[in-house]
């Protein structure tokens, strides 16, 4: 059915026009309002008085006088949903027991708004240019930082390795010839050297990650063997704290195509972290099983757990939680970040189940359970 001229005009005024249209009752309540009026003011029909929308600076606003007054327009400042009033030229017409109010944005107000819009657009362009320039400078500084970090860590590795090796030799061969105090000194040197070695290794890993040089050496590997090698590193730490290490490894159908060294590093980080937050007598449970074409391993502790705020920064650089390690162990705050990068580089996922005061379980899922295919000649 073809729309009449009157219907088209009504549709334009109520739905498309940028001008304001109000239909008011005899006592000044808004019975109807077009789309522009509702959007600008946030008014509710049959529940809002028109006078509530007017910012009356002089205290002389009276809609009845304006309806009786011939001609117009009447300059009114209208409250907006955004909070700032806008000036409109209003015309009022009495039709039977209804009042029709028609408002058009004041020409001076429109010119002022256009001028402000141009000014804001220019300011936005200037800020965008400055932001691009600062981002480029930050990228350059970050690259220099990564280069320095990599070089410094590489140069520190050798002397720290020597200190660690000689302290281990003295602990094995000469500790029985030393008194208790000097044995403690030697143990402190060894422990601090080991911490520094781990710190240097983490810095090298992070610099490689940020420089996008985190390459994987994918080869077929026996995942249960990789996991066992990783756990050997953590058993001594668990024994020293009196923490039980419970392992459940299922059979895997064939080798997994992974970077074995990096996966071992990731597992070591997860198990070490679980032991750090466990108390004497607690149990850390490590599980490995296969499901279809995925390998899944999980590390569960029954330590203090984490808050929601701690969860959000768990895999961030230098992320430190407010939950304290049970024996005051030191860490770089980089281990879980590196673990996350290793797993995601394998197209895997990490999922954290956390219960405050009841412990944390981190589950890793790797889509790598498949026979290693040798290329055909």
Q: Both ends of the chain: CA-CA distance in Å?
A: 74
What backbone phi and psi angles, to 5 degrees, belong to 218? -80, 120
CB 334 within 8 A of CB 206: yes
Domain containing residue 166: CATH number: 1.10.287
CB 268 within 8 A of CB 232: no
Give tens-digit pLDDT for 288-304: 888 777 888 888 887 77
What average pLDDT does this structure show over 343-358?
80
- Residue 229 and residue 301 share a domain: yes
Cα–Cα distance for residue pair 38/142, rounded to 1 Å: 50
Report helix, strand or coil for 89.
strand
Number of neighbouring beta carbons within 10 Å of residue 341: 19
CB 175 within 8 A of CB 183: yes
276 lies in which domain range? 219-366
- Residue 341 and residue 259 share a domain: yes
53 found inside a domain: yes
Give tens-digit pLDDT for 232-283: 777 877 887 888 887 887 766 667 788 888 888 888 888 888 888 887 888 8
Q: What is the pLDDT of residue 24?
A: 92
pLDDT(332) > 60: no
Residues belonging to the chain? 377
How far is CA 30 from each of CA 19, 52, 140, 162, 235, rounded to the nearest angstrom?
16, 10, 60, 85, 77
Q: Return the bridge partners of 105, or none.
A: 88
Q: What is the pLDDT of residue 371?
A: 46
Domain containing residue 17: CATH number: 3.30.450.20
Residue at a domain's end among 210, 239, 273 = 210
Total structural domains within the chain: 3
Residue at a domain's end among 210, 231, 250 = 210
Cα–Cα distance for residue pair 28/101, rounded to 1 Å: 11
Cα–Cα distance for residue pair 189/224, rounded to 1 Å: 34
Q: What is the pLDDT of residue 310?
A: 64
What average pLDDT does this structure show over 194-222?
69
Which tops the pLDDT comparison, 376 or 91? Answer: 91
Cα–Cα distance for residue pair 271/226, rounded to 1 Å: 13
What backbone phi and psi angles, to 5 degrees, belong to 78? -100, 130
Give tens-digit pLDDT for 92-148: 988 888 899 999 887 776 677 678 778 888 888 888 888 888 888 887 777 776 666
What backbone phi and psi angles, to 5 degrees, belong to 135? -65, -40
Report helix, strand or coil for 105.
strand
Instruction: Calculate what percentage of the chain has a pLDDT beyond 70.
Output: 76
137 found inside a domain: yes
- Residue 347 and residue 238 share a domain: yes
Q: In what side-by-side order are the strands of the sheet with 244-249? A: 244-249, 283-291, 294-301, 359-366, 349-355
Residue 141: both structure tokens together: 């500084």
- Residue 228 and residue 196 share a domain: no
The residue with tokens 């708004």 is 113
Cα–Cα distance for residue pair 96/134, rounded to 1 Å: 65
Which tops the pLDDT comparison, 254 or 4? Answer: 4
Which tops the pLDDT comparison, 207 or 184? Answer: 184
Which tops the pLDDT comparison, 169 or 55? Answer: 55
Kindly give, in sequence order, each residue whose CB lies less than 8 Å from that of residue 106, ignoring residues fewer than 6 positions away. 75, 86, 87, 88, 89
175 found inside a domain: yes
Domain containing residue 362: CATH number: 3.30.565.10
Pairing mode of beta strands 256-258, 349-355 = unpaired
- Residue 362 and residue 224 share a domain: yes
Pairing mode of beta strands 244-249, 283-291 = parallel
Q: What is the pLDDT of residue 33?
A: 92
Nearest to 344 by CA among 372, 318, 364: 364
């Amino acid at each position: 059915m073809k729309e009449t001229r009157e219907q088209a005009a009504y549709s334009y005024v109520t739905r498309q026009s940028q001008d304001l249209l109000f239909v008011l009752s005899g006592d000044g309540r808004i019975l109807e309002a077009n789309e522009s009026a509702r959007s600008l003011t946030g008014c509710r029909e049959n529940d809002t008085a028109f006078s509530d929308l007017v910012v009356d600076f002089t205290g002389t606003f009276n809609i009845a006088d304006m309806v009786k007054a011939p001609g117009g327009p009447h300059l009114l400042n209208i409250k907006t949903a955004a909070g700032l009033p806008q000036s409109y030229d209003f015309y009022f017409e009495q039709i039977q027991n209804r009042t029709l109010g028609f408002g058009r944005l004041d020409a001076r107000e429109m010119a002022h708004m256009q001028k402000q819009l141009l000014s804001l657009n220019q300011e936005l362009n200037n800020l965008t240019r400055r932001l691009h320039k600062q981002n480029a400078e930050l990228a350059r500084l970050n690259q220099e930082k990564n280069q320095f970090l990599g070089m410094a860590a590489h140069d520190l590795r050798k002397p720290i390795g020597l200190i660690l090796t000689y302290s281990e030799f003295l602990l094995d061969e000469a500790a029985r010839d030393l008194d208790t105090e000097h044995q403690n000194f030697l143990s402190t040197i060894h422990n601090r050297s080991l911490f520094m070695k781990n710190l240097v290794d983490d810095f090298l890993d992070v610099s490689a990650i940020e420089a996008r040089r985190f390459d994987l050496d994918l080869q077929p590997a026996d995942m249960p063997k990789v996991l066992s090698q990783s756990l050997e590193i953590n058993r001594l730490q668990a024994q020293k704290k009196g923490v039980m290490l419970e392992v459940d490894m299922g059979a895997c159908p064939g080798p997994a195509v992974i970077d074995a060294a990096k996966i071992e590093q990731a597992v070591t980080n997860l198990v070490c972290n679980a032991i750090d937050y466990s108390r004497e007598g607690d149990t850390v449970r490590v599980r490995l099983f296969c499901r279809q074409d995925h390998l899944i391993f999980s590390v569960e502790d029954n330590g203090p757990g984490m808050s929601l705020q701690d969860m959000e920064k768990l895999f961030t650089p230098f992320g430190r939680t407010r939950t304290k390690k049970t024996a005051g162990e030191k860490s770089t705050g980089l281990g879980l970040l590196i673990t996350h990068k290793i797993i995601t580089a394998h197209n895997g996922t990490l999922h954290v189940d956390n219960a405050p005061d009841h412990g944390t379980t981190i589950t890793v899922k790797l889509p790598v359970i498949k026979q290693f295919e040798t290329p055909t000649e």
